[in-house]
């Protein structure tokens, strides 16, 4: 088992497969401590937080910090959030700051954009991004384009957030990954957190950003806990929008992903490390603007690349990354073509076995990495 | 004293004044503003025919009494948002004629630096100029929401056409505006045609002032500027006294596409 040095990378609890043995984790934490820091007992600086609490605390702090920030969406107030992401916020902040909307996405997204144009800073929650399609005219035509159309006169400091991509058995109309649709559009910023640190830092940065930001979360990650650094717990902890993060450095192949699938890449990397294959796992964190520099640098180092996402293949994120690599100096450093691992080109089926087959799994990533590297063997 | 033209009421016990005081200075100002809008729109129409203006150019000719009559009661702190037939409002909201025509002809000296065009002109407390039919209505409800949030004692005027009146999002906006008592004056500028289609062919009910249902409404003969002015005064008082939103149907006419 290859366990990364920095404790914030590695999930303590996980809903899927590979659980690290707890004693091994504790052992590593005690001997390595934090990267570059003093070696001290883990209890003093590492704490555990799940993604739900990361998002919850981020919103709570930003609402407390700025009187113009408020949260609106279906079930966010009295029900405490369809997935409990806004648990406790309405009780604490009241009706003015945490607002339940009717089930009318087009109406309330438009209302939220209008409020943003008039100087407030709404967090507009879509129960899932599938429902954002009903409101997508407001995300794109009313929010994304207005700063440009008004030649800089009208700002739209809004955050659209909610779960994106597949959950578990929610079938075709509730499982779409909107990463490529939203990251296609100039005027939007698009972020997609993987772990708790990402969730806190990116959401806080999004709320403080004066442009419309789409924050694509994942329902399956809400309950997953991660070690977080003390910096992460600071009220001013921000992750810069537009910068990817190398979760695990490696020399043989770049695994580029976002959101939940970063976790699968981390697991695949651990398995491949046993056979001496060093995967570099690049967590994009931001989809627009894409951190092209990080992608190019990684591919120039490893000469091999696999992208992992749950968007459908055509015009997905992998397609964009492939094009960017071809357009850059990294092209000359490739020893094999890019493989994009994507959702299968079907509406998401319901049956569990079919759903699993329609999405990239750890075993698939491992197989594709081996194939990519053999193709390059002399 | 001048008489206003008769109003029709929906869920209102009484309506605007039937008589109004107009000074000769006011009358001259209204006339001047309406004539300026007409001249500006005529010039724009000619430039469009010469192809100096590209794309869309929706002229306000015929509807001048609506924007001028409403602005007589509004002040620059009351935000306004409208759809794409926006040049008249752009002028009354303080954008000079030259800046409007420059924008229409794609010049950097245009009010949106040539980046917006006919449908995307803005000013302080004027949120355009919106190209997507009906989209401005929830946006306007949102602006009214922001005013209520900040406890500004202002109304937001949200205009839409007879065509947009059938959009689902308009009813979604009505619902939230009424639910949350938003200080929003919804104004349907009924010029009898939605794009090229006459109202009777598009709407099961053309009594637009009643289509806010639980929102009280007023039908206004908007070819008369004083009638419009008094209706606006009534509506502004209504909203500012905390009674929630109100809907005005301004029946008018346009001379062009």
Do the beta carbons of residue B249 and residue B190 sit within 8 Å?
yes
pLDDT tens across B13-28, in order? Answer: 999 999 999 999 999 9
pTM for this prediction: 0.92
pLDDT of residue B257: 73
> What is the count of structural domains for chain B?
1
pLDDT of residue B231: 98
* Locus of tokens 């929706």: B58
- Check A61, A80, A105, A309 and give the catalytic one: A105
Beta-carbon count within 10 A of A357 CB: 13
pLDDT tens across B60-89, in order? Answer: 999 999 999 999 999 999 999 999 999 999
d(CA B229, CA B250): 11
Q: Output DSSP code: residue B186.
A: E
Which residues of A, range 171-200, sit inside 8 Å of B by Cβ?
none
A174 noted as active-site residue: yes
Of B127, B132, B175, the CB nearest to A102: B175
Q: Percentage helix, strand, coil, to 5, in chain B?
A: 40, 15, 45
B230 token code pair? 């008094």
* Locus of tokens 């609890």: A13
pLDDT of residue A137: 98
pLDDT of residue B108: 97
pLDDT of residue A375: 58
**Nearest CA-CA distance, residue B17 and chain A, Å:** 32
Which residues of B, range 181-210, sit inside 8 Å of A by Cβ?
none
Helix or strand run (H / E) with residue A286: strand A286-288
| A50 Cα distance to chain centroid | 14
In chain B, the residue whose alpha carbon lies closest to the alpha carbon of A70 is B149
**Nearest CA-CA distance, residue A146 and chain B, Å:** 9
CB pairs under 8 A between A and B: 115
A130 token code pair? 């599938």
d(CA B134, CA B166): 9
**Nearest CA-CA distance, residue B194 and chain A, Å:** 20
The domain of B168 spans 2-251
In chain B, the residue whose alpha carbon lies closest to the alpha carbon of A96 is B149
pLDDT of residue A9: 39
- Burial label for B193, CB within 10 Å (0-12, 13-18, 19+), is middle
CATH 3.30.460.80 fits A243-373, yes or no: no
B52 at A interface, C-beta within 8 A: no
Do the beta carbons of residue B128 and residue B119 sit within 8 Å?
yes
Chain A residues whose beta carbon lies within 8 Å of the beta carbon of residue B140: 114
pLDDT of residue A374: 87
**Nearest CA-CA distance, residue B145 and chain A, Å:** 6
Please identify every stretch of chain A with a pLDDT value under 50, giving residue numbers as ranges.
1-44, 377-378
pLDDT of residue A44: 46
pLDDT tens across B183-233, in order? Answer: 999 999 999 999 999 999 999 999 999 999 999 999 999 999 999 999 999
Chain A residues whose beta carbon lies within 8 Å of the beta carbon of residue B81: 114
Tell whether the torsion through CA atoms of B121, B123, B126 and B127 is positive or negative.
positive
B163 token code pair? 């065509």
In chain B, the residue whose alpha carbon lies closest to the alpha carbon of A149 is B116
**Nearest CA-CA distance, residue A304 and chain B, Å:** 42
CATH of domain A49-233: 3.40.50.970
Q: Output DSSP code: residue B126.
A: B
Mutate which: A63, A66, A110, vs B, most B CBs within 10 A: A110
A113 at B interface, C-beta within 8 A: yes
Do the beta carbons of residue A275 and residue A332 sit within 8 Å?
no
Q: Label residue B255 by pLDDT band (50, 70, 90).
A: confident
B179 at A interface, C-beta within 8 A: yes
Domain membership of residue B256 (yes or no) is no
pLDDT tens across B102-150, in order? Answer: 999 999 999 999 999 999 999 999 999 999 999 999 999 999 999 999 9
Q: State mean pLDDT over B171-181.
A: 98
Closest alpha carbon to A25 in A47, A50, A3: A3
Do the beta carbons of residue A280 and residue A302 sit within 8 Å?
yes
Beta-carbon count within 10 A of A281 CB: 29
B106 token code pair? 């794609």
Q: State mean pLDDT over B31-40.
A: 98
Q: Percentage helix, strand, coil, to 5, in chain A?
A: 40, 15, 45
Of B127, B140, B168, the CB nearest to A106: B168
d(CA A235, CA A105): 31
CATH number of the domain residue B205 falls in: 3.40.50.970
pLDDT of residue A236: 98
Domain membership of residue B46 (yes or no) is yes
Beta-carbon count within 10 A of A374 CB: 9
Do the beta carbons of residue B200 and residue B171 sit within 8 Å?
no
Residues 6+ apart with CB under 8 A from A118: B79, B127, B142, B143, B145, B146, B147
B132 token code pair? 């997507």
């Amino acid at each position: 088992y290859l366990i990364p040095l920095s404790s914030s990378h590695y999930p303590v609890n996980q809903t899927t497969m590979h659980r690290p043995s707890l004693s091994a984790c504790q052992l590593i934490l005690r001997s390595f401590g934090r990267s570059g820091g003093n070696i001290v007992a883990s209890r003093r600086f590492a704490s555990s937080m799940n993604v739900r609490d990361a998002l919850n605390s981020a919103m709570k702090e930003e609402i407390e910090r700025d009187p113009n920030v408020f949260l609106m969406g279906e079930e966010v107030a009295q029900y405490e959030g369809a997935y409990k992401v806004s648990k406790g916020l309405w009780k604490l902040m009241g009706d003015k700051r945490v607002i339940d909307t009717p089930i009318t996405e087009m109406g309330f997204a438009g209302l939220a954009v209008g409020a943003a144009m008039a100087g407030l800073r709404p967090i507009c929650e879509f129960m899932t991004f599938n429902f954002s399609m009903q409101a997508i005219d407001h995300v794109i035509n009313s929010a994304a384009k207005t700063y440009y159309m008004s030649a800089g006169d009208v700002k739209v400091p809004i955050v659209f957030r909610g779960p994106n991509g597949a959950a578990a058995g929610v079938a075709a109309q509730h499982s779409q990954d909107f990463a490529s649709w939203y990251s296609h559009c100039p005027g939007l910023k698009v972020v997609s957190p993987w772990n708790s640190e990402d969730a806190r830092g990116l959401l806080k940065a999004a709320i403080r950003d004066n442009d419309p930001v789409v924050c694509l979360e994942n329902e399956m990650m809400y309950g997953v806990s991660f070690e977080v650094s003390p910096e992460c717990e600071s009220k001013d902890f921000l992750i810069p929008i537009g910068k990817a993060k190398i979760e695990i450095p490696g020399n043989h192949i770049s695994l580029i992903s976002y959101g939940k699938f970063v976790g699968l890449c981390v697991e695949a990397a651990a398995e491949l490390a046993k056979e001496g294959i060093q995967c570099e796992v690049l967590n994009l964190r931001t989809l627009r603007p894409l951190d092209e520099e990080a992608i190019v640098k990684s591919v120039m180092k490893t000469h091999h690349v696999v992208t992992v996402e749950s968007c459908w293949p055509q015009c997905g994120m992998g397609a964009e990354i492939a094009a960017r690599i071809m357009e850059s100096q990294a092209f000359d450093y490739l020893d094999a073509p890019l493989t994009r691992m994507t959702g299968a080109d079907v509406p998401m089926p319901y049956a569990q076995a079919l759903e699993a087959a329609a999405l990239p799994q750890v075993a698939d990533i491992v197989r594709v990495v081996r194939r990519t590297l053999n193709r390059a063997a002399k | 004293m001048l008489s206003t033209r008769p109003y029709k009421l929906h869920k209102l016990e009484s309506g605007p004044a039937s008589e109004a005081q107009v000074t000769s200075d006011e009358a001259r100002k209204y006339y001047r503003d309406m004539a300026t809008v007409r001249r500006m729109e005529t010039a724009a129409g000619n430039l469009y025919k010469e192809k100096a203006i590209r794309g869309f150019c929706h002229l306000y000719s015929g509807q001048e009494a609506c924007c001028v009559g409403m602005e007589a009661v509004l002040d620059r702190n009351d935000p306004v948002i409208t759809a794409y037939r926006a040049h008249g409002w752009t002028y009354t909201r303080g954008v000079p004629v030259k800046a409007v025509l420059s924008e229409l002809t794609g010049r950097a000296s245009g009010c949106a630096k040539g980046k917006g065009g006919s449908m995307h002109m803005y000013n302080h407390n004027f949120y355009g100029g919106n190209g997507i039919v009906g989209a401005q209505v929830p946006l306007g409800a949102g602006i009214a929401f922001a005013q209520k949030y900040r406890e500004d004692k202002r109304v937001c005027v949200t205009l839409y056409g007879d065509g947009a009146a059938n959009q689902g999002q308009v009813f979604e906006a009505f619902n939230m505006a009424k639910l949350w008592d938003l200080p929003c004056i919804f104004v349907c500028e009924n010029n009898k045609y939605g794009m090229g289609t006459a109202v009777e062919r598009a709407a099961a009910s053309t009594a637009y002032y009643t289509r806010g249902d639980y929102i009280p409404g007023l039908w206004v003969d908007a070819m008369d500027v004083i009638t419009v002015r008094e209706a606006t005064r009534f509506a502004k008082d209504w909203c500012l006294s905390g009674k929630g939103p109100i809907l005005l149907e301004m029946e008018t006419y346009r001379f062009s596409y």
